[in-house]
């Protein structure tokens, strides 16, 4: 006991504690790498012509370091846990010495490596719980926002209510341009084209502000983001001649103006494009497709995971197995949402079953301004008997992007303990009682390549409304920020490229078909006129003059109809 107290007192010394923390973290990283390397050697040997060997030397080396790791940790009156950990290490040592000639080497080594990693995780969690009093364990590849420590108090609480901005961060708010300014407007023009084989699509419209004109333009290409510009009429150096403009229609813009804007602003020849009216965009369904493309990254319905961690739990199997029996957790859920019965519910339920009860009887939902949230609460989703992996629960939460971790007791959270390709942000919440007053500590853990996002984190929360507003805003901002990480942004960009290319190809084919139809019609009309001219060649000069005028009129009609031939006389 005296040895334990002396060990704990030494760990309270800042210099020594920092040294132990660095040493333990380095050892943990090295052992994880050695475990992975050992398993890889066995798997490579199994896939080659060489006989499978049992890596006894490597395993015993790792086991020796595991003994050292347990001695660096203060177990804080948890002698039973320490004995359990050491007993498991002894079993591993015995197995490494005796199973050299085992029949299923790969399965044995996999099981041993998995047990070793669990022991390392237990040691790391225990150390950060006692020595650091940390809410979150620092892990490679993750960034922590906040420096909270369990049990540390502050002098006084702020009496001011937090002000949370309703503006969503990392959201492309201008993606609503097409809906707000172009959609359904008969004066909207669309220009379909290609540059070096890559599709282009420009939407353009004229607006009138205080007797002045301005041109609103969306330029889309395969590369994100779209370019959105407002160009004042004074910008145009080559204004069209007054005689070419339709003075009766103030919204009519000659193609010479669009030519000047497009070539000057985007440095692309105007002849690379075909022009489509908004009427044709609507009838062909392209307007609706373009709207979905522009707003593909925006959404107003969200799904978030909520997971309960109890005192002493360090593995995801334990976390996902927890039942709904924690009063503080229930209280927190009522702060961030409203409990609803799933069966017969007509609102957004984040994919949970609202008919047969497979997803449980209840869940929680909420709204924040125009945004609708629904939660996947692990302990409310039914677990199947004998399912140690809790597949039903993890199927929902493991496919979320952001997850709330509610911690009962002082157990630190290890983000690497959850195996998921999608989870990129964890909001860790812990409740404490200070002088009969409830307070909540919050820290945020993100994958490193997720950009920072607000609102900024205060020391603690002592007001339920502040906590609710903060959590809701943080959740939504977290999702948009996570979508900027390569894991999501690259696949989304590839999907957008495919959809965009299909839209431009479809529009281009429609316009080409119109050109062919116009050409056939013009040729047929010309032939009819030629036949008429041949039969009347012996008539008077006045008759010839009339025929000539009619032919010119037909030619003019052809030019005005064909999208391929500019109907504006000033285009060269």
423-453 residue pLDDT tens = 999 999 999 998 888 999 999 999 999 999 9
Mapped onto helix, strand or coil, the DSSP state of residue 156 is: coil
CB 201 within 8 A of CB 192: yes
Structural tokens at position 482: 């996570």
pLDDT band at 529 (very low <50, low <70, confident <90, very high): low
Q: Which residues pair with 437 in a beta bridge?
A: 434
Instruction: Tell whether omega for the bond before 47 is within 30 degrees of 0, i.e. cis.
Output: no
Give the C-alpha separation, 175 to 184, whole Å: 16
Mapped onto helix, strand or coil, the DSSP state of residue 467 is: helix
CB 271 within 8 A of CB 258: no
The reported pLDDT for the residue numbered 211 is 82
Digit-coded pLDDT (tens) for 275-330: 999 999 999 999 999 999 999 999 999 999 999 999 989 999 999 999 988 999 99
The reported pLDDT for the residue numbered 569 is 33
Give the C-alpha separation, 349 to 340, whole Å: 9
Residue recorded with tokens 């993100």: 446
3-state helix, strand, coil in the chain (%, to 5): 45, 20, 35
Give the C-alpha separation, 136 to 406, whole Å: 12
Max CA distance (Å), the chain: 130
Neighbours of 295 (CB within 10 A): 15
Q: Residue 239 pLDDT > 80, yes or no?
A: no
Q: What is the pTM of this model?
A: 0.81
**CA quadruple 382, 386, 387, 390: dihedral positive or negative?**
positive
Dihedral, 169, 144, 148, 146 alpha carbons, nearest 10: -30
Angstrom distances, CA of residue 14 to CA of 10, 11, 19, 475 = 9, 7, 9, 35
Residue recorded with tokens 């005192």: 311
Structural tokens at position 343: 């069966």
> Burial of 345 by CB count in 10 Å (0-12 exposed, 13-18 middle, 19+ buried)?
middle
Give the C-alpha separation, 214 to 427, whole Å: 46
Of the listed ranges 235-249, 286-300, 515-529, 548-562, the one predicted with least confidence = 548-562
Neighbours of 296 (CB within 10 A): 15
Q: Which residues pair with 433 in a beta bridge?
A: 438
The reported pLDDT for the residue numbered 461 is 94
């Amino acid at each position: 006991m005296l040895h334990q107290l002396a060990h704990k007192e030494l760990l309270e010394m800042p210099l020594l504690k920092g040294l132990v923390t660095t040493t333990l973290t380095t050892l943990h990283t090295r052992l994880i790498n050695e475990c992975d390397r050992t398993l890889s050697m066995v798997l490579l040997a199994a896939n080659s012509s060489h006989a499978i060997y049992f890596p006894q030397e490597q395993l015993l080396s790792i086991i020796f370091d595991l003994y050292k790791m347990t001695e660096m940790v203060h177990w804080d009156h948890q002698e039973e846990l320490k004995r359990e950990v050491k007993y498991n290490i002894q079993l591993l040592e015995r197995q490494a010495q005796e199973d050299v000639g085992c029949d299923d080497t790969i399965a044995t080594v996999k099981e041993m490596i998995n047990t070793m990693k669990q022991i390392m995780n237990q040691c790391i969690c225990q150390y950060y719980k006692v020595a650091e009093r940390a809410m979150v364990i620092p892990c490679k590849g993750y960034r922590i926002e906040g420096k909270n420590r369990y049990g540390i108090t502050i002098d006084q609480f702020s009496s001011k209510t937090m002000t949370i901005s309703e503006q969503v961060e990392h959201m492309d708010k201008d993606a609503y341009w097409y809906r707000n300014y172009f959609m359904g407007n008969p004066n909207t023009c669309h220009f379909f084209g290609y540059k070096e084989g890559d599709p282009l699509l420009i939407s353009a419209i004229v607006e009138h502000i205080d007797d002045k004109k301005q041109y609103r333009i969306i330029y889309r290409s395969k590369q994100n983001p779209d370019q959105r510009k407002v160009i004042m009429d004074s910008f145009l150096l080559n204004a069209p001649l007054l005689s070419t403009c339709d003075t009766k229609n103030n919204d009519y813009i000659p193609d010479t103006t669009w030519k000047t804007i497009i070539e000057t602003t985007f440095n692309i020849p105007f002849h690379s494009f075909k022009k489509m009216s908004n009427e044709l965009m609507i009838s062909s369904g392209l307007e609706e497709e373009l709207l979905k493309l522009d707003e593909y990254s925006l959404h107003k319905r969200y799904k978030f995971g909520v997971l309960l961690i109890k005192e002493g739990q360090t593995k995801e199997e334990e976390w996902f197995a927890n039942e709904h029996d924690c009063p503080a957790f229930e209280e927190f859920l009522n702060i961030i949402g409203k409990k609803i019965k799933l069966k017969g519910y007509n609102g957004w339920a984040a994919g949970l079953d609202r008919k047969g009860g497979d997803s449980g009887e209840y869940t929680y939902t909420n709204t924040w301004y125009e945004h609708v949230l629904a939660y996947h609460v692990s302990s409310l989703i039914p677990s199947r008997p004998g399912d140690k992996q809790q597949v039903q629960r993890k199927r929902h939460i493991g496919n979320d992007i952001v997850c709330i971790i509610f911690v009962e007791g002082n157990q630190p959270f290890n983000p690497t303990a959850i195996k998921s390709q999608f989870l990129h942000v964890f909001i860790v919440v812990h409740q404490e009682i200070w002088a009969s007053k409830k307070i909540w500590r919050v820290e945020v853990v993100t994958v490193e390549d997720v950009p920072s996002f607000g609102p900024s984190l205060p020391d603690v929360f002592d007001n339920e409304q502040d906590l609710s507003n903060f959590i809701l805003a943080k959740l939504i901002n977290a999702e948009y920020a996570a979508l900027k990480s390569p894991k999501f942004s690259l696949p989304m960009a590839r999907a957008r490229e495919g959809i965009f290319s299909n839209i431009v190809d479809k529009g281009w084919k429609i316009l080409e078909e119109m050109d062919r139809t116009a050409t056939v019609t013009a040729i047929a009309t010309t032939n009819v006129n030629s036949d008429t001219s041949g039969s009347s060649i012996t008539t008077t000069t006045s008759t010839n003059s009339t025929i000539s005028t009619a032919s010119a009129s037909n030619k003019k009609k052809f030019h005005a109809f064909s999208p391929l031939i500019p109907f504006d006389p000033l285009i060269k």
